[in-house]
Amino acid sequence: MTDYKKTVKEVLAHIKNWTWDDPVSLLYADLLKGDVLQDLKYDKEEIQFELTRRQIHSIPPGYKDGGKEDNGIGDFLIWRTILEAGKTREKSLLFVSGEEKPDWFHKSEGQTLYPRYELVDEYRRNSKGQSFHIVSFARFLNIFGASKSVVEEVQEEERKLNLEFSILGEFVRKWAEFERAVLKKCNDISPKEMSQQFLSTSKMLNILIKHQAISKHFYSIAREISIIRNKTVHGQTDFSEQMIRDALESLDELMDEL
C-alpha cells in the first residue's frame, strides 16, 4: 500500500508539471488544426431579452431550465454558438452531445427520437438550407469507424452518466420546488422579516423553526439536504446515485409536511 501511494503521488506530481506539451494537448494540436474555436460575440442585454422571450414561448433549447441558478442561459449560449457557426460556414453540422432533455429532443415512451424540429428549422434558416444533427459520442465514434469494443465501452459510460444526471436533475428541480414552498410559508408567517432583505433557504428555515412552524427533525433533514444540494450542484464532491435517491425521498416527505 505504501508503494502504491508513493507511485500515485509521483504520477500526480508529473501531471501537475505538464503545460501545453502533455500527450493529450499534443494529440489535439495535431488533429484539430486551423480555426477550431467559435468565439461568440454578443450583447448581454440582447441575449437576456431573447432568452426570456424563448422561455415565455417555450422555444428550445433551454426554456425548461429557467429554474436553474443561471436561469438556463448555458444551453442557449451553446445554441447561439451553433447558429453562428452555421451562419458563418453555411455547412451542415453534427453536434456531439449526451444531452437528451425534451427541449433538445422529441421523445416518446421515454425514448429519444430526433432533434426538436424547431432546432432543425432555425439552423436551416441561419445556414442557408443546411441540416443539423445531434449524436452521442458513442454514435460519433461508430460513424467514423472506431472499434466495436471502444464503442460499447463508451455506450456503457454514457448510459451510467445519463442515469446519474437524470436523477441529479430531478433532485435540483425538487429542491427548487421546496425552496419556493419554504419562501411562501415564511411570507405567510413573518412577512416583516421577509421584507428586510433577500434571505437564503438556510435563513428562512431559521425563521420557521423560531416561529415553531416546523419541527426540529424537519429543520435537521432540510439542512442536510441543502448541504448535499450545494455540493453536488457546485461540483465540490462526488455523489452516489443512492445518496441522491434518498435525498429525493426525504424532500417528498418534507414537502408533504409543508
> What would the pLDDT profile of 36-56 be if each residue is shown by its tens digit?
666 777 788 888 898 889 888
pLDDT bracket for residue 156 (50, 70, 90): confident
Percent of the chain with pLDDT over 90: 17
Give tens-digit pLDDT for 177-227.
899 899 888 888 888 877 766 678 888 888 888 888 889 999 999 999 988
pLDDT bracket for residue 59 (50, 70, 90): confident
- In this predicted structure, the answer to whether residue 233 has a pLDDT above a threshold of 70 is no
Q: How far apart are CA 156 and CA 160, in angstroms?
A: 6
For CA atoms 177, 106, 145, 27, the dihedral sign is negative
Q: How far apart are CA 110 and CA 74, in angstroms?
A: 24
Q: What is the dihedral of CA 25, 29, 34, 38, to 10 degrees?
A: -20
Q: How far apart are CA 164 and CA 100, in angstroms?
A: 13
Q: What is the distance of C-alpha 211 from the center of its chain?
A: 36
- In this predicted structure, the answer to whether residue 122 has a pLDDT above a threshold of 90 is yes
Q: Is 34 left (phi over 0), alpha (psi -120 to 50) or beta?
A: left
What are the start-end ranges of the E strands in the chain?
93-96, 105-108, 111-115, 132-135
User: 132 pairs with which residues across the strands?
Assistant: 93
Mean pLDDT (the chain) is 81
Which of 203, 201, 210 is closest to 181 using CA atoms? 201
State the Cα angle at 82 between 78 and 87, rounded to 5°: 145
pLDDT at 162 (0 to 100): 74
Which of the two residues, 62 and 71, has the higher pLDDT score?
A: 62
Q: How far apart are CA 217 and CA 235, in angstroms?
A: 27
- Span 8-16, average pLDDT: 73
Which of the two residues, 104 and 111, has the higher pLDDT score?
A: 104
Q: How far apart are CA 53 and CA 41, in angstroms?
A: 20
Q: How far apart are CA 97 and CA 113, in angstroms?
A: 14
pLDDT bracket for residue 238 (50, 70, 90): low
Q: What is each CA distance from 23 to 16, 18, 20, 28, 115, in whole angstroms?
A: 13, 9, 9, 9, 35
- Span 144-155, average pLDDT: 84
User: 111 pairs with which residues across the strands?
Assistant: 108
pLDDT bracket for residue 74 (50, 70, 90): confident
- In this predicted structure, the answer to whether residue 129 has a pLDDT above a threshold of 90 is yes
Return the exposure string of 20-54: e unless at least 16 CB atoms fall within 10 Å of the residue's CB, then b: eeeeeeeeeeeeeeeeeeeeeeeeeeeeeeebeeb
Q: How far apart are CA 229 and CA 251, in angstroms?
A: 11
